[in-house]
Structure 1
Amino acid sequence: MPDNGEKCIPWRIRREKCALIVIDMQNDFLKPGGVLYYNDTPLKAVPNIKRLIDFCRRLGIPVIYTKTLLKDGFNISPLEVCYQPVLMQKGMREGTWGAEIIGELLPLMDEQVVFKHRYDAFYNTNLELILKNVRGLSGVDTVIITGTVTNVCCESTARGAFMRDYKVVFVSDANGAFDEEAHRATLRNISRFFGRVMDTETLQAALAEGENDLSSYMD
């Protein structure tokens, strides 16, 4: 499936209006011994996420991380726990190894980390406030989505961004799922309805060189 979904490009990418979001790259999802670790498949995205983080840092594009956190004191995400009962007892608790970002992708001291309790990183968090101000007042209009897992938190956040009128770039090889079928289904859905699907190399070229050669797009 072509990354652009074989359709016209609806808007151009302007690097001065972008922010990179790195979703839930936590030990509990990605490392053996993690509470929600199933297989190594999502780890295939790590090198490309690392490339994009480093690339965006060099270009001055803000990098924003998210972490899913649950609580012992009360069930802050009860329906999620219905599908993953193990989370009632353990997993993604603040201060634990499992809740931490994997060592390969650690945020810098001055980079923002958004704590979330639901799949969508916009839901009841300060993500939108950060996006509205991290590049100056209303300086961000495009979010670049990377992370794990493709078809749950990453797709949910992409939809949340779209509903708030952010342009969405969903990076095909910098999002990881536990199975390829689910990954490809999300790419197809995002491309058709919610954003632009691009691979890392294509996105880097667009950020570095701009897309001023497009004949028709929304600015």
Structure 2
Amino acid sequence: MEKIEKYIRFRHDQMGKINPKKTALLVIDMQKYQVQKNWPLYKAADGINPGMLEYFIEEVENMVPKLKELIDFCREVKIPVIYTKFSSFMPDGSDLPESVKKINELSKDFLDAATFPYISAEASDIIDELKPDPAIDWVLQKNTSGTFISTRLDNYLRNMGVETVLVTG
């Protein structure tokens, strides 16, 4: 019970410092291909250095329930939740940066699949545990790893009056 009370006090204290009307939550690239084992990105990394991503995957699995709680809390207090997805806009990946295209080519040669998928591929979807709510959440597509450089996010946040950005993912 003490742990729950401490958590509630923490949440209340944090909300005293954060103005929900001037805050947004960013959920960066929590896509299947980025955080799950059964996709080419993991298989490619594991082929190069076996076990290299085990720690990362374990940490993601531990973090997801906490992130889900944060997302639910932000929705509850009307803090906008903005997801990003790093995928190709073009089916052939021609819009991706050169370095990513090279990785995709190698991945296709060795795994018969692109490491960085096309936007409508299942691998590009946000993981099921953190699915955006299409009625209230916003999903920004980008074709580089940079969330601000490959979107107009800065402009959108300024237009929304956002002064505090909570970054997760």
TM-score (norm 2): 0.69
5+ residue gaps, structure 2, are 1-16, 43-52
8 Å Cα contact 1:67-1:113 kept in structure 2:
yes
Partner of 2:11: none
> For residues 100 and 132 of structure 1, do their structure 2 counterparts lie closer, same or farther at Cα, with a shift above 3 Å needed?
same
The answer to whether the aligner puts 1:100 opposite 2:125 as a matched pair is yes
Structure 1 residue 130: Cα displacement: 2.5
* Cα-to-partner distance string for 1:12-44 (whole Å, 9 max, x where unaligned): 533321100001111101222112234322222
The answer to whether the aligner puts 1:78 opposite 2:83 as a matched pair is no
Partner of 1:130: 156
Structure 1 residue 92: Cα displacement: 2.2
Deviates more, 1:73-82 or 1:29-38: 73-82
**Residue aligned with 1:119, SS:** coil
Aligned-partner Cα distance in 1 for 2:20–2:134:
23
8 Å Cα contact 1:35-1:98 kept in structure 2:
no
Structure (1/2) with the larger helix percentage? 2
> For residues 86 and 112 of structure 1, do their structure 2 counterparts lie closer, same or farther at Cα, with a shift above 3 Å needed?
same
The match for 1:36 among 38, 41, 58 is: 41
Q: Which has the larger radius of gyration?
A: 2
Letter in 2 for 1:118: T
* Cα-to-partner distance string for 1:126-147 (whole Å, 9 max, x where unaligned): 32232123x4xxx101110100
Letter in 2 for 1:145: V
> For residues 34 and 61 of structure 1, do their structure 2 counterparts lie closer, same or farther at Cα, with a shift above 3 Å needed?
same
The answer to whether the aligner puts 1:120 opposite 2:141 as a matched pair is no
* Cα-to-partner distance string for 1:148-180 (whole Å, 9 max, x where unaligned): xxxxxxxxxxxxxxxxxxxxxxxxxxxxxxxxx
Aligned-partner Cα distance in 2 for 1:142–1:87:
41
Higher relative contact order (CA 8 A, sep 6+): 2
8 Å Cα contact 1:67-1:101 kept in structure 2:
yes
Q: How many residue pairs are counted as aligned between the two chains?
A: 132
TM-score (norm 1): 0.54
